[in-house]
């Protein structure tokens, strides 16, 4: 079984020193050290993006084209950081990333892998909620992705027992079978078409736009965009929206795939009006419905080589502060799913939820060398 661990970047209110700016994200780790990769990305990405913004010398008030370059630079720097990390082995481990920056009435988004952002907006006709997918799932069967991978001698095909899951394979070995075309880490495939260059998207908000859902593929594998939006919009309170979506996804997994392990599900609900949910305690800005074993100090995790934000599903604000009160009803985060078993075994078989099938035969030598 391949370890899959999720991390959520707790929404950073005041990114870049501006109050009307929020940055949030979901990172879905995979491989034997996926939990460490996802955590590293979660902690370092805001600083990488801020550094890229500063390098542009344009400040936050810059056009979408400049934001595209800033996100691309941040993702490139992040992957370079992982490659050069002294003790974090990312050769056959990696992470997806979907990040959303709300800057006034604009959304700037970047993603790699198959985590997704979906907008919930009111229909101008009957006032009902409609779903709009804001990002693209970058899977190996996307024609442009498959073409790039094959040009780099990588192979793309699905296993017989899961024909609906295309994977990326080395040219000389039926490994590792990565179920996405872009990711942080996974350096065993970086010479064979897998890249960390993000797809960038810009959306100008209107008064009809209500919230953005960020979620890992564990949610989207069993729920449609519209189903997810309907669940969030019908939640009795904002503080329960993400939890309701995760619970619905869990029920669907049990119904549709009763013999498979339930994939981990991470959900961030970013409400766009910023209003406060008065039903919840203003000092508790998020819900967390799973035991995150990876949140404890890991003896194998290297010390940070640079300043990093320490975030583990909580908003980094002073209790009772204006920022905390403003954010308490605007954002809801839930991570749930299978327990984060950090042991690695190549003999546990293939299940639907695996992002990797097996390690290449030379991976240990590569990692050491």
Phi, psi torsion values for 174, nearest 5 degrees: -80, 65
Mean pLDDT of residues grouped by 10 in the chain (369 residues)?
Answer: 47 62 91 92 94 90 95 97 95 95 95 97 86 97 97 97 94 94 97 98 96 94 96 91 92 89 86 61 27 36 39 32 45 49 32 64 48
pLDDT by residue (tens digit) across 198-214?
A: 999 999 999 999 999 99
Peptide bond into 45 cis (omega under 30): no
**Torsional sign, CA 99, 18, 315, 53:** positive
DSSP character string of 82-139:
HHH-SS---SS-EE-EEEEEEETTEEEEEEESS-EEEEEEE-TTT--EEEEE-S----
Helices (H), the chain: 34-56, 64-84, 143-151, 217-220, 225-233, 241-256, 322-328, 363-368
**Cα 255 from Cα 322, distance rounded (Å):** 43
357 SS3 class: coil
Sign, Cα dihedral of 271, 275, 276, 277: negative
pLDDT for 182 equals 98
**Tokens standing for 254?**
């049990």
pLDDT of residue 261: 79
* Mode of pairing for the β-strands spanning 199-204 and 106-112: antiparallel
Q: Which CATH class is domain 4-138+171-354?
A: alpha beta
Per the prediction, the chain carries an average pLDDT of 78
Predicted pLDDT of residue 101: 95
So what's the pLDDT on residue 209? Answer: 96
* pLDDT at site 334: 56
- Backbone torsions φ then ψ of 102, nearest 5 degrees: -95, 115
Percent of the chain with pLDDT over 70: 70
DSSP code per residue over 256-298: H-TTSPPPPEEEEEEETT----TTS-TT------S--GGGSPP
């Amino acid at each position: 079984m391949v370890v899959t661990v999720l991390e959520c970047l707790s929404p950073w209110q005041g990114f870049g020193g501006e109050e009307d700016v929020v940055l949030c994200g979901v990172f879905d780790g995979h491989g034997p050290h996926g939990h460490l990769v996802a955590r590293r990305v979660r902690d370092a990405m805001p600083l990488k993006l801020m550094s890229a913004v500063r390098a542009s010398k344009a400040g936050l008030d810059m056009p979408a084209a400049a934001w595209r370059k800033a996100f691309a630079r941040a993702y490139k720097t992040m992957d370079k950081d992982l490659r050069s990390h002294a003790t974090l082995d990312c050769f056959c481990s990696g992470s997806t990333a979907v990040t959303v920056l709300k800057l006034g009435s604009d959304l700037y988004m970047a993603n790699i892998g198959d985590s997704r952002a979906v907008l919930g907006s009111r229909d101008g006709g009957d006032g009902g909620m409609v779903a709009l997918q804001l990002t693209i799932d970058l899977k190996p069967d996307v024609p442009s992705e498959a073409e790039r991978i094959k040009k780099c001698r990588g192979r793309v095909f699905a296993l017989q027992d899961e024909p609906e899951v295309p994977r990326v394979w080395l040219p000389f070995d039926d490994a590792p079978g990565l179920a996405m075309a872009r990711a942080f880490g996974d350096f065993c495939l970086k010479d064979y078409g897998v890249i960390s260059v993000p797809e960038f998207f810009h959306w100008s908000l209107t008064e009809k736009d209500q919230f953005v859902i960020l979620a890992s593929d564990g949610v989207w594998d069993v729920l449609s965009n519209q189903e997810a939006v309907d669940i969030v919009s019908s939640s009795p309170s904002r503080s329960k929206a993400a939890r309701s979506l995760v619970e619905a996804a869990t029920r669907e997994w049990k119904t549709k795939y009763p013999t498979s392990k339930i994939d981990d599900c991470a959900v961030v609900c970013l409400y766009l009006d910023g209003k406060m949910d008065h039903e919840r305690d203003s000092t508790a800005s998020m819900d967390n419905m799973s035991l995150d074993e990876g949140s404890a100090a890991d003896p194998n995790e290297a010390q940070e080589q640079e300043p990093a934000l320490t975030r583990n599903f909580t908003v980094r604000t002073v209790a009772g502060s204006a920022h905390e009160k403003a954010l308490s009803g605007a954002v809801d985060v839930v991570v749930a799913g299978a327990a984060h078993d950090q042991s690695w075994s190549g003999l546990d078989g293939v299940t639907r939820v695996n992002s990797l099938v097996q390690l290449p035969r030379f991976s240990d030598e590569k990692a050491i060398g």
